Structure 1
Amino acid sequence: MEYATNNHPFYKLNTQIQTHMKQFIILAIFSIFTTQLFSQTVDTRRKIEVNGSSEMEVTPDIIYLSISLKEYFKDNNSKKKVEINTIETQLYNAVQAAGIPKENLTINNISGYNYQWEKKKNPDFLVAKQYRLKVTNLNSYNKLMDAIDAKAVQYTNVESYDYSKIEPLKKELKIKALKAAKEKADFLAAALNNRVGEPLEIQEINNESYPQPIYRANMMTAKVSDEAFSPEIDFKQIKLNYQMRVVFELVK
């Protein structure tokens, strides 16, 4: 019977395997120890956390209006229907006369997508169309409404409004809020004979407010009369308020 000696191939192979296993175990233990060491590292830097804010109110200069037009019988005579095409042409001409770009007027909806079939079925069927109009001031809108037959107007209302220079203004206010936070941190740190170091965290807090317009007559409902309809609207201003939460390092 033969026994493996130090020079036997099987003995050498077994020794190599044991050596590699020991190296692997040592490496694994070292990795676990290092991971735990880093995970237990505590940030010992002294910090100061402050909020800075900046706000501004602006008057809307972009207004989106909804206009609904409907066919009607002239003098209540069923044989004298004013067709939607005639009313629509009147609207487009009024838009042009008011100096409003034609692309600012779009169709929102048509009551009865197959209204031609409805007309054949029921001669008294009245077609209605809804439009969306973008204006930059209400004077042009009032001028437009003066040129449209009031009997064809079902209703008008304000869908929404905006401010044309809103994006540059947002950027400006955020910068001011950030500077306000830095100024606050500076005088608080100085009161403790410290100074502010580098910012460690910055968080933006958005407080935009777009209030709905207030109507003096609730809805801008058209009067069924020959008089022009010019509603009065009170617009609340758009209030922009930005807050910045900043964490600074506090140093001696």
Structure 2
Amino acid sequence: MKKLFLLAAILVTTAGAFAQTADLRRKIEVTGIAEQEVTPDIINVSIALKEYMNGKTKVTITQLEQQLEKAVAEAGIPKEDFTINSLSSWNYATEKKKNPDFLASKQYGIKFRDLNKFNQLISKIDPKGIQSTNIDSYDYSKINELKNKLKLQALLSARDKATFLVNGLGDKLGSALSITESDNSNFPQPRTVMYMAKANMAADSAVPESDIDVRKIKLSFQINAVFEIK
């Protein structure tokens, strides 16, 4: 008998605790979306230079690098926006001694904030020494401020939607109970700048115009919000 009373007491206590913890508030869950397209004002480009034989004379990576460094300086690109990404041989000096015909290559990263400077820079480098040119990534200088603006717009859109629906039922919207953010932004994909194929076909002619272009960045944010209904 005592066991039955004890079990009943446990059940009553458990039921009471469940009633205290259960969220019986009326709620509404809605989604708000905010989007905007922007033109990138920062484009990260990689340029690979490679030694080549001009008759019996080797045009060295040092000579090509000096041309590039001078072109970068004349284009007004800050030193911090110009980096060396990779060297084709981990031990260039040793390889050069073992094999005099070894042709080294180097890859450089340049951050362009003005695309007009790209052609200006490329035109000052020996086209025979340019192995490849790629767009590595796109960026926007005020992207953080824009992201915050869109997140707030998406949240306010969710709130306005919830207010409209709740008012239609004759109720009032209460406080937000939960907010979940989703970033569905779309950045242009890295790609090869195709002008190099033309340059190699006619290396002795003037450097042709590249087909480098600016593809828009689409920023998109979704806010899932749960509000209390009063």
The unaligned stretches of length 5 or more in structure 1 are: 1-25
Preserved contact between residue 82 and residue 110 of structure 2 (Cα < 8 Å): yes
Supply the distance in 2 between the matched residues of 1:133 and 1:140 (Cα, whole angstroms).
Answer: 11
Q: Equivalent residue for 2:214?
A: 235
1:123 aligns to 2:103 (yes or no): no
1:54 aligns to 2:34 (yes or no): yes
CA drift at 1:33: 5.3
| Equivalences for residues 58-207 of structure 1 within 5 A | 58-74=38-54, 77-78=55-56, 80-207=57-184
Preserved contact between residue 70 and residue 153 of structure 1 (Cα < 8 Å): yes
Supply the distance in 1 between the matched residues of 2:128 and 2:94 (Cα, whole angstroms).
Answer: 24
Q: 1:44 aligns with which of 4, 21, 24?
A: 24
CA drift at 1:235: 2.8
TM-score (norm 2): 0.88
Preserved contact between residue 212 and residue 236 of structure 1 (Cα < 8 Å): no
Supply the distance in 2 between the matched residues of 1:110 and 1:213 (Cα, whole angstroms).
Answer: 21
CA drift at 1:30: 7.2
Supply the distance in 1 between the matched residues of 2:25 and 2:156 (Cα, whole angstroms).
Answer: 22
What is the aligned-residue RMSD (CA, Å)?
2.3
| Equivalences for residues 206-221 of structure 1 within 5 A | 206-212=183-189, 219-221=194-196
SS of corresponding position for 2:73: helix
Aligned residues: 222
Preserved contact between residue 180 and residue 225 of structure 2 (Cα < 8 Å): yes
Counterpart AA for 2:49? L
Percent identity over the alignment?
49
CA drift at 1:34: 3.9
SS of corresponding position for 2:30: strand
Supply the distance in 2 between the matched residues of 1:250 and 1:147 (Cα, whole angstroms).
Answer: 67
TM-score (norm 1): 0.80
Supply the distance in 2 between the matched residues of 1:117 and 1:229 (Cα, whole angstroms).
Answer: 36
Preserved contact between residue 213 and residue 236 of structure 1 (Cα < 8 Å): no
Supply the distance in 1 between the matched residues of 2:107 and 2:10 (Cα, whole angstroms).
Answer: 70
Supply the distance in 2 between the matched residues of 1:245 and 1:53 (Cα, whole angstroms).
Answer: 9
Larger Rg: 1
1:68-121 per-position Cα deviation (integer Å, ceiling 9, x unaligned): 0011112xx12x111111111111000001111122111111111212222222
Counterpart AA for 1:236? R
The unaligned stretches of length 5 or more in structure 2 are: 1-5
Supply the distance in 2 between the matched residues of 1:46 and 1:170 (Cα, whole angstroms).
Answer: 32
Supply the distance in 1 between the matched residues of 2:195 and 2:172 (Cα, whole angstroms).
Answer: 59
Preserved contact between residue 186 and residue 218 of structure 2 (Cα < 8 Å): yes
